[in-house]
Chains A and B, each alone.
Chain A
Amino acid sequence: MTQYIVRRFLGLFPTLFVIITISFFIIRVAPGGPFAREKELPPQVLANIEAKYNMDEPLIVQYGVYMYNIIRGDLGPSFRYQDRDVNYYVFNSLPASMFLGLVSLSIALVLGISSGILSALRQNKLADYLSMSVAVIGISVPLFVIGPVLMYFLAIRWQLLPTSGWIGGRNGWAPLIMPAITLAFPYFAYIARLTRASVIEVLRSDYIRTARAKGLRESVVIVKHVLKGALLPVVSYLGPAFAGIVTGSVVVEQIFRVPGLGRFFVQSAFNRDYTLIMGTVIVFSVILIVMNFLVDIVYALLDPRISYK
């Protein structure tokens, strides 16, 4: 098992390497990219970049320097802002994004799994139809509609929650509620549908018939025999779900003005602040890759049939 973890962990680095390399070369081919000088840059920025990447050296050397800096944890100078590095912006806004993402994922998991199980057990009954209808809304209505509509009713019409801001301000935890719900909603929907389908499938399996033939109570059958197998697909969905939440945070942070990385991402895309975009993407990628790694390990721990060889 330890060996398996170590091997999987070492496997993360090639992936990262490829992502960083692709990122670097996308900057290079970008029309009017940062290293082509036709774009008007503030002279100070230009000086920063040149100093950092030895602009007069061959491409391969610049690439080497970029990689070296990244290994040292330096994402380079911003393409737009003169005074601070990409690191400063990225790592100052990361905590808010991470927190929002994890809270949303937890909400989606808890609500999604429980309503999925409920639906499966009350198949074709009212509770099933109700929660599955909510789930279809969740996958059919875009985030950026749900968010503003929530904001309109909860914050503007009924004045229950603040329209924007972030935790730690004068509103305490309240500013977290709407962005987290908005972000969690589509993934709640997916997880609920996934859970329902896989619980129903497991309920039909032979080993559940065996468990019932042994005289176990239905509640024991569900908790002990059904859930472990039924939740495996949900575990493997966690990777994509987290990727989606990271992406969704871009929009949600925009709507609710959360001081997170997602908002930076959009701004930098518009400002064509390539180094900042790349920095953001690299950080997001690292988070995702680590997340996928953790999911794989949890999966391996849950499913005894996986061999660690």
Chain B
Amino acid sequence: MNQKVFSDPILQVRNLQTHFKTDAGVVKAVDGVSFDLRKGETLGIVGESGSGKSVTNLSLMRLIPSPPGRIVGGKVMFHDTDLMKISDSEMRNIRGNKISMIFQDPMTSLNPFLKVSTQLIETIRLHQGLGKRAARAQAVEMLAMVGIAKPEQRIEHYPHQFSGGMRQRVMIAMALSCKPEILIADEPTTALDVTIQAQILEIIKRLADDLGTAVIMITHDLGVVAGMCDNVAVMYAGKIVEKGTAKELFGDPKHPYTKGLIHSVPRLDQDHQERLFSIEGQPPNLIGLPDACPFYPRCNYVMDICKQKYPAPEQLSENRAVNCWLYKEHENKEAGLVEQR
């Protein structure tokens, strides 16, 4: 993937924290997440289910169901406004207009009781102040752009008359109908057939390029990241553990968790005799975690310090950062804490 040149960030997330109150205690679903997104960039956020990728992005949109969820801290700078501080109506003006979302399950994400036309047109009219007819024309055009045949007729159908892949196309059309600056795609292909997945990704990529939209691609599929993303952030237990360009990260993973993730992808170009690699153990639940590195019980490089304190990010290069004690040896030495593995 050729390195694009990006301008200043349009979105800066700093130390975002989202907690959920559950019966058993407070779940720190997002625990101090920071990242930047530049115009036209595609950022992949990878991690296992429950690592906080979706919650991070719902938090950006302030769509966390509350209660039980609550954004307890952090800043989300969209250009010069902090999305966490603006009023509800200002936020609504951004949702679907400047920042829009596609969700994982196209079967349930469209309202089954309303025609596709209604659902598309209401967004366009809301944000662009178009008349009914103009909005409709634009909606038809969007459907055509996402590759739906006979859009003039299909627009009058209800969601249940579309297949899963087609519904996801409708979702994409809806999300992009106001030419947003940022598109958040939350596992957009997970619920779809493999053959459809590639088509959907292709559409997202093409339209994002055409419209100059930056994309946050949430996924647990490293293949998707490799194929689409410029930069990647790896999440584990509500924290970003490593960031970098897709190329660097795949070529030279630093964090033991990232290494594990990349190793556990089966590869055709390697020896088949070897057993598939897998990371031992289960991710911890996010209630009452100590300050330690949440990955240490599963980590092959665990040191004593890992069990005592969570490491600050170590900036390895301009785009590269990792949160791991392995890369903080100078500090460790200073503190006299370095141990054998």
**Contacts from A to B (Cβ < 8 Å):** 204-207, 209-217, 220, 224-225, 228-229, 302-305
Contacts and interface: CB of A to CB of B under 8 A. Distances in A.
Shortest Cβ-Cβ A-B pairs, 4 listed = A214-B96, A215-B95, A215-B96, A206-B108
Contacts, number: 72
Nearest to B113: A228
Contacts of A302: 113
B126 interface: yes
B63 interface: yes
Given A225-B111, A225-B114, A304-B158, A214 B100 contact: yes
B123 A214 contact: yes
26 contacts: A206-B105, A206-B108, A207-B110, A209-B63, A209-B109, A210-B103, A210-B109, A210-B110, A211-B111, A213-B61, A213-B96, A213-B100, A213-B101, A213-B103, A214-B95, A214-B126, A215-B93, A215-B95, A215-B127, A216-B122, A224-B122, A225-B114, A304-B112, A304-B160, A305-B112, A305-B160
Contacts of A215: 92-97, 123, 126-127
A228 B118 CA distance: 14
B92 A217 contact: yes
A305 B107 CA distance: 13
Contacts of B111: 207, 210-211, 225, 229
A228 B114 contact: yes
Contacts of B110: 207, 210
B214 interface: no
B336 interface: no
B46 to A, nearest CB: 22
B122 A207 contact: no
A214 B103 contact: no
Chain B binding surface, main DSSP class: mixed
Interface of B: 61, 63, 65, 89, 92-97, 100-101, 103, 105, 108-114, 122-123, 126-127, 158, 160, 171, 174
B182 to A, nearest CB: 12
Given A207-B110, A228-B114, A304-B113, A216 B126 contact: yes
A262 B93 CA distance: 58
A207 B108 CA distance: 6
Most buried by A among B97, B111, B160, B171: B111
Contacts of A304: 112-113, 158, 160
Contacts of B112: 207, 229, 304-305
A228 B114 CA distance: 9
B109 A216 contact: no
A214 B122 contact: yes
A216 B126 CA distance: 8
Given A209-B103, A214-B122, A214-B174, A229 B113 contact: yes
A122 to B, nearest CB: 13
Given A224-B114, A228-B114, A304-B160, A207 B109 contact: yes
Contacts of B174: 210, 214
B95 A305 contact: no
Nearest to A209: B63
A210 to B, nearest CB: 5
A224 to B, nearest CB: 7
Nearest to A213: B101
A217 B95 CA distance: 11
B95 A212 contact: yes
Contact of A216 (B92, B94, B103): B92
Given A206-B109, A207-B108, A304-B160, A213 B114 contact: no
A141 B63 CA distance: 41
A148 to B, nearest CB: 43
